[in-house]
Amino acid sequence: MKIKVGGSIGFKIIGKPYESIDASTVFSVEKEVPDDTSFEEIEEDMFNKTNQILEKESLKKMKIAYKAYQEKMDRIRSMIDD
């Protein structure tokens, strides 16, 4: 039988009004497994790995989003100060 497991995860940093930072990840995996495979085996093999990948990728995206936010705010502040 074919099993497809997926999910999504997201993080949000709430700052000043209109300065929130969001990052989210959607991921799914499909795998052919024997018909007699137990739910526990599927959970251990696919669900847990999917959750780990979701968390890891979402954290990467949050780092990128936060860095871009900081750079943008620095440019705006320098324009205001000039």
- Model confidence pTM above 0.85: no
Least confident of 12-21, 22-31, 45-54: 12-21
For residue 21, list its beta bridge partners.
13
Tokens of 22: 């969001």
- Output the DSSP codes for the chain: -EEEEEEEEEEEE--STT--EEEEEEEEEEEE--TT--HHHHIIIIIHHHHHHHHHHHHHHHHHHHHHHHHHHHHHHHHHH-
Q: What is the mean pLDDT of residues 14-31?
A: 84
Handedness of CA 16, 24, 62, 5 (dihedral sign): positive
